[in-house]
Structure 1
Amino acid sequence: MAGKGRRGWTGPAAIALALFGVVAIAASGEGSWRDILAGGNNPPPREFPVLEPSRPIRLAIPSLDVRAPVHSVGVADDGTIAVPKLYRHNQAGWYERGPTPGQFGPAIIVGHADTRDGPSVFHDLPDIEPGARIEVTRRDRAIAVFEVNTVEHFDKDELPIERVYGDYVRPGLRLITCGGRWLGDGIGYADNIVVFASLVDVRDA
Protein backbone atom coordinates (compact mmCIF):
# COMPACT_ATOMS: atom_id res chain seq x y z
CA MET A 1 0.00 0.00 0.00
CA ALA A 2 1.74 3.14 1.13
CA GLY A 3 5.45 3.14 0.78
CA LYS A 4 7.96 5.91 0.96
CA GLY A 5 6.02 8.60 -0.89
CA ARG A 6 8.25 11.66 -1.00
CA ARG A 7 9.39 11.87 2.59
CA GLY A 8 10.41 8.49 3.90
CA TRP A 9 9.43 4.90 4.62
CA THR A 10 6.25 4.35 6.63
CA GLY A 11 7.02 0.93 8.08
CA PRO A 12 4.95 -2.27 7.90
CA ALA A 13 2.43 -1.25 10.56
CA ALA A 14 1.57 1.94 8.75
CA ILE A 15 0.89 0.31 5.41
CA ALA A 16 -1.76 -2.11 6.66
CA LEU A 17 -5.19 -1.33 5.22
CA ALA A 18 -7.73 0.16 7.60
CA LEU A 19 -10.35 -2.44 6.75
CA PHE A 20 -12.10 -3.06 10.07
CA GLY A 21 -14.74 -5.78 9.96
CA VAL A 22 -13.44 -7.35 6.79
CA VAL A 23 -12.87 -10.81 8.25
CA ALA A 24 -16.44 -11.30 9.36
CA ILE A 25 -17.77 -10.20 6.00
CA ALA A 26 -15.31 -11.56 3.49
CA ALA A 27 -14.68 -14.88 5.20
CA SER A 28 -18.36 -15.75 5.19
CA GLY A 29 -18.29 -16.63 1.47
CA GLU A 30 -21.57 -17.78 -0.02
CA GLY A 31 -23.23 -17.57 3.38
CA SER A 32 -23.49 -13.83 2.75
CA TRP A 33 -25.15 -14.52 -0.59
CA ARG A 34 -27.75 -16.71 1.10
CA ASP A 35 -28.34 -14.09 3.78
CA ILE A 36 -29.01 -11.42 1.17
CA LEU A 37 -31.62 -13.63 -0.47
CA ALA A 38 -33.25 -14.69 2.80
CA GLY A 39 -35.62 -11.74 2.84
CA GLY A 40 -37.75 -13.21 0.05
CA ASN A 41 -35.83 -11.57 -2.79
CA ASN A 42 -35.18 -13.60 -5.90
CA PRO A 43 -31.67 -14.04 -7.33
CA PRO A 44 -30.90 -11.62 -10.15
CA PRO A 45 -30.95 -12.96 -13.70
CA ARG A 46 -27.58 -14.52 -14.47
CA GLU A 47 -26.62 -12.31 -17.36
CA PHE A 48 -23.01 -12.86 -16.39
CA PRO A 49 -20.74 -15.88 -15.89
CA VAL A 50 -20.27 -17.49 -12.48
CA LEU A 51 -17.23 -19.68 -11.78
CA GLU A 52 -16.32 -22.39 -9.32
CA PRO A 53 -13.56 -21.60 -6.79
CA SER A 54 -9.99 -21.41 -8.10
CA ARG A 55 -7.14 -19.29 -6.75
CA PRO A 56 -5.83 -16.38 -8.84
CA ILE A 57 -2.25 -16.62 -10.05
CA ARG A 58 -1.80 -13.61 -12.34
CA LEU A 59 -3.28 -10.15 -12.81
CA ALA A 60 -3.24 -8.01 -15.93
CA ILE A 61 -4.50 -4.45 -16.41
CA PRO A 62 -3.78 -3.74 -20.09
CA SER A 63 -4.65 -0.03 -19.95
CA LEU A 64 -2.03 0.51 -17.21
CA ASP A 65 0.49 -1.95 -18.64
CA VAL A 66 0.32 -3.93 -15.39
CA ARG A 67 1.12 -7.66 -15.41
CA ALA A 68 1.88 -9.21 -12.08
CA PRO A 69 1.91 -12.49 -10.19
CA VAL A 70 -0.75 -12.92 -7.52
CA HIS A 71 -0.17 -14.75 -4.25
CA SER A 72 -2.40 -15.30 -1.23
CA VAL A 73 -2.54 -13.01 1.80
CA GLY A 74 -4.41 -13.48 5.05
CA VAL A 75 -5.05 -11.37 8.12
CA ALA A 76 -2.45 -9.15 9.79
CA ASP A 77 -1.85 -9.12 13.53
CA ASP A 78 -4.09 -6.07 13.93
CA GLY A 79 -7.03 -7.78 12.22
CA THR A 80 -6.75 -5.97 8.89
CA ILE A 81 -6.00 -7.59 5.55
CA ALA A 82 -2.31 -8.37 5.29
CA VAL A 83 -0.36 -6.73 2.49
CA PRO A 84 2.36 -8.34 0.35
CA LYS A 85 5.82 -8.43 1.88
CA LEU A 86 8.05 -5.61 0.73
CA TYR A 87 10.22 -7.91 -1.36
CA ARG A 88 6.99 -8.72 -3.24
CA HIS A 89 6.04 -5.09 -3.82
CA ASN A 90 5.61 -5.77 -7.55
CA GLN A 91 3.19 -8.61 -6.85
CA ALA A 92 -0.47 -8.44 -5.84
CA GLY A 93 -2.06 -10.22 -2.91
CA TRP A 94 -5.43 -12.00 -3.05
CA TYR A 95 -7.32 -12.14 0.25
CA GLU A 96 -7.65 -15.89 0.74
CA ARG A 97 -10.61 -15.77 3.14
CA GLY A 98 -12.88 -14.19 0.54
CA PRO A 99 -14.27 -15.35 -2.81
CA THR A 100 -11.95 -16.32 -5.62
CA PRO A 101 -12.28 -14.22 -8.79
CA GLY A 102 -15.41 -15.31 -10.64
CA GLN A 103 -17.37 -16.59 -7.65
CA PHE A 104 -20.36 -14.69 -6.31
CA GLY A 105 -19.10 -11.82 -4.18
CA PRO A 106 -16.16 -9.44 -4.26
CA ALA A 107 -12.72 -10.98 -4.70
CA ILE A 108 -10.21 -8.72 -2.94
CA ILE A 109 -6.76 -8.06 -4.40
CA VAL A 110 -4.39 -5.63 -2.67
CA GLY A 111 -1.04 -4.17 -3.63
CA HIS A 112 1.52 -1.53 -2.75
CA ALA A 113 1.54 1.87 -4.41
CA ASP A 114 5.26 2.42 -3.82
CA THR A 115 8.22 1.66 -1.57
CA ARG A 116 11.48 3.40 -0.78
CA ASP A 117 12.82 2.01 -4.06
CA GLY A 118 10.14 3.55 -6.26
CA PRO A 119 6.77 2.68 -7.82
CA SER A 120 5.11 -0.65 -7.03
CA VAL A 121 2.45 -2.79 -8.69
CA PHE A 122 -0.54 -0.49 -8.01
CA HIS A 123 1.25 2.84 -8.36
CA ASP A 124 -0.91 3.89 -11.33
CA LEU A 125 -4.17 2.42 -10.06
CA PRO A 126 -5.79 5.88 -9.57
CA ASP A 127 -5.45 6.41 -13.34
CA ILE A 128 -7.62 3.46 -14.35
CA GLU A 129 -10.88 4.51 -15.98
CA PRO A 130 -14.43 3.09 -15.89
CA GLY A 131 -14.85 0.57 -18.67
CA ALA A 132 -11.24 -0.62 -18.50
CA ARG A 133 -10.69 -4.39 -18.41
CA ILE A 134 -8.92 -6.32 -15.67
CA GLU A 135 -7.90 -9.91 -16.42
CA VAL A 136 -7.29 -12.43 -13.63
CA THR A 137 -5.77 -15.77 -14.57
CA ARG A 138 -6.82 -18.53 -12.18
CA ARG A 139 -5.15 -21.79 -11.25
CA ASP A 140 -7.74 -23.70 -13.31
CA ARG A 141 -6.44 -21.77 -16.36
CA ALA A 142 -9.63 -19.76 -16.75
CA ILE A 143 -9.16 -16.02 -17.26
CA ALA A 144 -11.82 -14.01 -15.46
CA VAL A 145 -12.36 -10.69 -17.25
CA PHE A 146 -13.70 -7.81 -15.17
CA GLU A 147 -14.90 -4.38 -16.26
CA VAL A 148 -14.18 -1.38 -14.06
CA ASN A 149 -17.32 0.28 -12.72
CA THR A 150 -15.84 3.04 -10.56
CA VAL A 151 -12.55 4.16 -8.99
CA GLU A 152 -13.03 5.78 -5.59
CA HIS A 153 -11.00 7.32 -2.78
CA PHE A 154 -11.99 6.80 0.85
CA ASP A 155 -10.51 8.14 4.05
CA LYS A 156 -9.10 5.10 5.84
CA ASP A 157 -11.40 5.77 8.79
CA GLU A 158 -14.49 5.97 6.56
CA LEU A 159 -14.22 2.94 4.31
CA PRO A 160 -17.76 1.71 3.43
CA ILE A 161 -17.26 -1.86 4.63
CA GLU A 162 -20.56 -3.31 3.44
CA ARG A 163 -20.20 -1.80 -0.03
CA VAL A 164 -16.61 -2.95 -0.46
CA TYR A 165 -16.96 -6.43 1.05
CA GLY A 166 -20.64 -7.26 1.33
CA ASP A 167 -21.92 -7.14 -2.25
CA TYR A 168 -22.76 -10.75 -3.18
CA VAL A 169 -25.29 -10.09 -5.96
CA ARG A 170 -22.79 -11.03 -8.69
CA PRO A 171 -19.11 -11.88 -9.16
CA GLY A 172 -17.03 -8.79 -8.51
CA LEU A 173 -13.48 -7.61 -7.95
CA ARG A 174 -11.95 -4.99 -5.69
CA LEU A 175 -8.43 -3.71 -6.24
CA ILE A 176 -7.20 -1.79 -3.21
CA THR A 177 -4.13 0.31 -2.54
CA CYS A 178 -3.17 3.43 -0.61
CA GLY A 179 -3.25 6.97 -1.94
CA GLY A 180 -4.22 10.54 -1.28
CA ARG A 181 -2.15 12.86 0.90
CA TRP A 182 1.14 11.69 2.38
CA LEU A 183 0.84 12.10 6.15
CA GLY A 184 4.40 11.29 7.08
CA ASP A 185 6.43 8.45 8.52
CA GLY A 186 4.54 6.06 10.75
CA ILE A 187 1.21 7.10 9.22
CA GLY A 188 1.48 6.70 5.46
CA TYR A 189 -1.18 7.90 3.04
CA ALA A 190 -4.55 9.29 4.09
CA ASP A 191 -6.79 7.26 1.81
CA ASN A 192 -7.57 3.88 0.37
CA ILE A 193 -8.10 3.77 -3.38
CA VAL A 194 -10.67 1.13 -4.32
CA VAL A 195 -11.42 -0.06 -7.85
CA PHE A 196 -14.89 -1.62 -8.15
CA ALA A 197 -15.25 -4.04 -11.07
CA SER A 198 -17.73 -6.67 -12.27
CA LEU A 199 -17.17 -9.97 -14.07
CA VAL A 200 -18.18 -9.71 -17.73
CA ASP A 201 -16.44 -12.58 -19.52
CA VAL A 202 -14.44 -15.77 -19.06
CA ARG A 203 -11.98 -17.32 -21.50
CA ASP A 204 -9.34 -20.02 -21.49
CA ALA A 205 -5.73 -19.12 -20.78
Structure 2
Amino acid sequence: MAATRFTGPIAIVVALAGVLAVGAGLTEETGLWEALAGDSTPPPREFPVLEPSRPIRIEIPSIGVEAPVHGVGLADDGSISVPSLHRHNEAGWYDRGPTPGEFGPAIIVGHADTKDGPSVFYSLAKLKPGATVEVTRRDRSIAIFEVNSVERFGKSKLPADRVYGDYTRPGLRLVTCGGQWVGGGIGYQDNIVAFASLVETKNA
Protein backbone atom coordinates (compact mmCIF):
# COMPACT_ATOMS: atom_id res chain seq x y z
CA MET A 1 0.00 0.00 0.00
CA ALA A 2 2.74 2.37 -1.07
CA ALA A 3 0.50 5.29 -1.97
CA THR A 4 -1.48 5.47 1.26
CA ARG A 5 -2.77 8.97 2.07
CA PHE A 6 -4.02 10.07 5.46
CA THR A 7 -6.37 13.01 5.99
CA GLY A 8 -5.66 13.57 9.65
CA PRO A 9 -3.05 12.92 12.32
CA ILE A 10 -2.03 9.33 12.86
CA ALA A 11 -2.22 7.56 16.20
CA ILE A 12 -0.13 4.41 16.19
CA VAL A 13 0.20 2.13 19.17
CA VAL A 14 3.02 -0.18 18.23
CA ALA A 15 5.75 -1.88 20.21
CA LEU A 16 8.70 -3.31 18.34
CA ALA A 17 9.80 -6.63 19.71
CA GLY A 18 11.09 -9.85 18.21
CA VAL A 19 14.55 -10.98 17.39
CA LEU A 20 15.97 -9.52 14.21
CA ALA A 21 19.18 -11.43 14.70
CA VAL A 22 17.42 -14.77 14.38
CA GLY A 23 14.70 -13.77 11.96
CA ALA A 24 11.74 -13.10 14.24
CA GLY A 25 9.50 -10.11 13.50
CA LEU A 26 9.10 -6.66 15.00
CA THR A 27 5.94 -7.03 17.03
CA GLU A 28 3.00 -4.68 16.61
CA GLU A 29 1.17 -4.70 19.90
CA THR A 30 -2.17 -3.90 18.30
CA GLY A 31 -1.44 -4.90 14.70
CA LEU A 32 -3.36 -1.80 13.58
CA TRP A 33 -2.63 1.56 12.02
CA GLU A 34 -5.33 3.89 13.30
CA ALA A 35 -6.20 6.98 11.28
CA LEU A 36 -7.97 9.59 13.38
CA ALA A 37 -10.65 11.60 11.64
CA GLY A 38 -10.44 15.38 11.52
CA ASP A 39 -9.24 18.30 9.43
CA SER A 40 -5.58 19.12 9.27
CA THR A 41 -3.48 21.64 7.41
CA PRO A 42 -0.18 20.45 5.94
CA PRO A 43 2.84 22.30 7.30
CA PRO A 44 4.76 24.70 5.04
CA ARG A 45 7.01 22.83 2.64
CA GLU A 46 10.33 24.23 3.77
CA PHE A 47 11.81 20.85 2.86
CA PRO A 48 11.42 18.55 -0.14
CA VAL A 49 8.42 16.24 -0.34
CA LEU A 50 8.22 13.41 -2.87
CA GLU A 51 5.38 11.50 -4.47
CA PRO A 52 5.05 7.79 -3.59
CA SER A 53 7.70 5.45 -5.00
CA ARG A 54 8.98 2.23 -3.49
CA PRO A 55 12.55 2.17 -2.18
CA ILE A 56 14.96 -0.19 -3.93
CA ARG A 57 18.34 0.59 -2.36
CA ILE A 58 19.83 2.17 0.75
CA GLU A 59 23.31 3.60 1.24
CA ILE A 60 24.79 4.84 4.52
CA PRO A 61 28.40 5.75 3.69
CA SER A 62 29.56 6.44 7.25
CA ILE A 63 28.88 2.85 8.36
CA GLY A 64 29.52 1.12 5.05
CA VAL A 65 25.94 0.12 4.20
CA GLU A 66 25.09 -0.47 0.53
CA ALA A 67 22.13 -2.80 0.25
CA PRO A 68 19.00 -3.62 -1.74
CA VAL A 69 15.65 -2.82 -0.15
CA HIS A 70 12.52 -4.88 -0.63
CA GLY A 71 9.04 -4.59 0.81
CA VAL A 72 7.94 -6.36 3.96
CA GLY A 73 4.45 -6.48 5.43
CA LEU A 74 2.90 -8.13 8.44
CA ALA A 75 3.59 -11.69 9.55
CA ASP A 76 0.80 -14.07 10.49
CA ASP A 77 1.15 -13.15 14.16
CA GLY A 78 0.62 -9.44 13.46
CA SER A 79 4.29 -8.54 13.69
CA ILE A 80 6.19 -6.49 11.14
CA SER A 81 8.06 -8.93 8.95
CA VAL A 82 11.80 -8.67 8.42
CA PRO A 83 13.93 -9.98 5.56
CA SER A 84 14.30 -13.74 5.58
CA LEU A 85 17.62 -15.08 6.81
CA HIS A 86 18.82 -15.89 3.30
CA ARG A 87 18.39 -12.16 2.55
CA HIS A 88 19.90 -10.94 5.82
CA ASN A 89 22.15 -8.47 3.98
CA GLU A 90 19.12 -6.71 2.52
CA ALA A 91 16.87 -4.17 4.26
CA GLY A 92 13.09 -4.34 4.45
CA TRP A 93 10.77 -1.38 3.96
CA TYR A 94 7.43 -1.63 5.79
CA ASP A 95 5.08 -1.40 2.81
CA ARG A 96 1.97 -0.37 4.73
CA GLY A 97 3.54 2.97 5.66
CA PRO A 98 4.88 5.94 3.71
CA THR A 99 7.54 5.52 1.07
CA PRO A 100 10.80 7.36 1.77
CA GLY A 101 10.29 11.02 0.88
CA GLU A 102 6.54 11.19 1.49
CA PHE A 103 5.07 12.93 4.50
CA GLY A 104 5.45 10.65 7.49
CA PRO A 105 7.99 8.18 8.83
CA ALA A 106 9.14 5.54 6.36
CA ILE A 107 10.21 2.43 8.30
CA ILE A 108 13.20 0.35 7.14
CA VAL A 109 14.21 -2.67 9.22
CA GLY A 110 17.18 -4.98 9.02
CA HIS A 111 18.98 -7.74 10.85
CA ALA A 112 21.90 -6.91 13.11
CA ASP A 113 23.48 -10.32 12.70
CA THR A 114 22.84 -14.03 12.35
CA LYS A 115 24.65 -17.06 13.71
CA ASP A 116 26.96 -16.76 10.69
CA GLY A 117 28.06 -13.18 11.35
CA PRO A 118 27.16 -9.51 10.78
CA SER A 119 24.13 -8.46 8.75
CA VAL A 120 23.00 -5.28 7.00
CA PHE A 121 22.42 -3.11 10.11
CA TYR A 122 25.20 -4.53 12.25
CA SER A 123 26.78 -1.08 12.70
CA LEU A 124 23.58 0.95 13.02
CA ALA A 125 24.33 1.82 16.66
CA LYS A 126 27.55 3.54 15.49
CA LEU A 127 25.66 5.94 13.22
CA LYS A 128 26.12 9.58 14.29
CA PRO A 129 23.79 12.61 14.09
CA GLY A 130 24.45 14.52 10.90
CA ALA A 131 25.28 11.40 8.90
CA THR A 132 23.66 10.96 5.50
CA VAL A 133 21.32 8.16 4.44
CA GLU A 134 20.50 7.90 0.72
CA VAL A 135 17.49 5.88 -0.40
CA THR A 136 17.11 5.19 -4.12
CA ARG A 137 13.50 4.81 -5.21
CA ARG A 138 11.88 2.99 -8.09
CA ASP A 139 11.19 6.28 -9.90
CA ARG A 140 15.00 6.79 -9.99
CA SER A 141 14.92 9.63 -7.51
CA ILE A 142 17.17 9.56 -4.44
CA ALA A 143 15.82 10.73 -1.10
CA ILE A 144 18.64 12.08 1.08
CA PHE A 145 18.08 12.01 4.82
CA GLU A 146 20.10 13.50 7.66
CA VAL A 147 20.31 11.51 10.87
CA ASN A 148 18.87 13.40 13.84
CA SER A 149 19.57 10.83 16.55
CA VAL A 150 20.32 7.16 17.13
CA GLU A 151 18.69 5.78 20.25
CA ARG A 152 18.34 2.51 22.14
CA PHE A 153 15.07 1.44 23.72
CA GLY A 154 14.06 -1.58 25.72
CA LYS A 155 11.63 -3.57 23.63
CA SER A 156 8.79 -2.88 26.07
CA LYS A 157 9.56 0.86 26.20
CA LEU A 158 9.62 1.89 22.55
CA PRO A 159 8.14 5.43 22.13
CA ALA A 160 5.56 4.53 19.50
CA ASP A 161 4.46 8.12 18.87
CA ARG A 162 8.01 9.20 18.06
CA VAL A 163 8.75 6.23 15.86
CA TYR A 164 5.45 5.99 13.98
CA GLY A 165 3.41 9.09 14.62
CA ASP A 166 5.21 12.12 13.15
CA TYR A 167 3.48 13.09 9.91
CA THR A 168 4.63 16.72 9.94
CA ARG A 169 7.40 16.10 7.39
CA PRO A 170 9.11 13.27 5.49
CA GLY A 171 11.13 11.13 7.88
CA LEU A 172 12.96 7.85 8.04
CA ARG A 173 13.31 5.30 10.83
CA LEU A 174 15.98 2.62 10.62
CA VAL A 175 15.41 -0.20 13.09
CA THR A 176 17.42 -3.20 14.25
CA CYS A 177 18.12 -5.10 17.47
CA GLY A 178 20.83 -4.31 19.99
CA GLY A 179 21.91 -4.48 23.57
CA GLN A 180 22.49 -7.67 25.47
CA TRP A 181 21.60 -11.07 24.05
CA VAL A 182 19.13 -12.73 26.41
CA GLY A 183 17.95 -15.53 24.14
CA GLY A 184 14.62 -17.29 24.32
CA GLY A 185 11.72 -15.51 22.68
CA ILE A 186 13.36 -12.11 23.22
CA GLY A 187 16.79 -12.43 21.65
CA TYR A 188 18.48 -9.04 22.03
CA GLN A 189 16.89 -7.00 24.79
CA ASP A 190 16.77 -3.66 22.95
CA ASN A 191 15.86 -2.01 19.68
CA ILE A 192 18.22 0.47 18.01
CA VAL A 193 16.33 3.20 16.15
CA ALA A 194 17.89 5.85 13.92
CA PHE A 195 15.67 8.92 13.40
CA ALA A 196 16.32 10.91 10.22
CA SER A 197 14.70 13.74 8.24
CA LEU A 198 14.55 14.36 4.49
CA VAL A 199 16.85 17.24 3.55
CA GLU A 200 17.48 16.89 -0.19
CA THR A 201 16.57 14.95 -3.30
CA LYS A 202 18.38 14.21 -6.53
CA ASN A 203 18.11 12.03 -9.61
CA ALA A 204 19.84 8.67 -9.71
TM-score normalised by the shorter chain: which range applies?
0.7 to 0.9
Residue identity over aligned pairs, in percent, reads: 65
How many residues align? The count is: 186
Matched, 1:146 2:145: yes
Structure-1 separation of matches of 2:58 and 2:30: 26
Please report the TM-score for the alignment, with normalisation by the length of structure 1. 0.85
- Structure 2 gap ranges (5+): 1-18
Instruction: Give the structure-2-normalised TM-score.
Output: 0.86
1:16 aligns with 2:34: no
Alpha-carbon separation, structure 2, partners of 1:78 and 1:129: 34
Alpha-carbon distance between aligned partners in 1 of 2:49 and 2:196, rounded to the nearest angstrom: 14
Write 1 or 2 for the structure with the bigger share of helix. Answer: 1
1:6 alignment counterpart = none
CA-to-aligned-CA distance 1:88-116 (integer Å, 9 cap, x gap): 00000000000000000000000000001
1:38-77 aligned at under 5 Å gives the runs: 38=40, 42-77=41-76
Question: Which whole-Å CA distance do the structure 2 matches of 1:56 and 1:171 have between them?
Answer: 14
User: 1: CA distance between counterparts of 2:25 and 2:146?
Assistant: 27
Contact 1:113 1:179 (8 Å CA) reproduced = yes
Structure 1 equivalent of residue 115 of structure 2: 116
Match of 2:20 in 1: 2
Q: Distance in 1 between matches of 2:151 and 2:27?
A: 15
SS of the residue corresponding to residue 198 of structure 1 reads strand
Aligned mates of 2:178, 2:109 — CA distance in 1:
13
Cα distance in 2 for partners of 1:158, 1:21 equals 15
**Partner SS, residue 26 of structure 2:** coil
Task: Note if contact 1:20-1:161 (Cα within 8 Å) is conserved in structure 2.
Answer: no
Task: Quote the RMSD (CA, aligned, Å).
Answer: 1.7
The SS at the match of 1:183 is strand
Maintained 8 Å contact 1:59/1:136: yes
TM-fit CA distance, 1:22: 5.8
What amino acid sits opposite 2:136 in the alignment? T
Residue matched to 1:174: 173
Structure 2 counterpart of 1:54, which letter? S
**Do the aligned partners of 1:17 and 1:192 also contact (CA within 8 Å) in 2?**
no
State the alpha-carbon separation in 1 of the partners of residues 69 and 176 from structure 2: 15
Q: Distance in 1 between matches of 2:184 and 2:159?
A: 26
Partner of residue 82, structure 2: 83
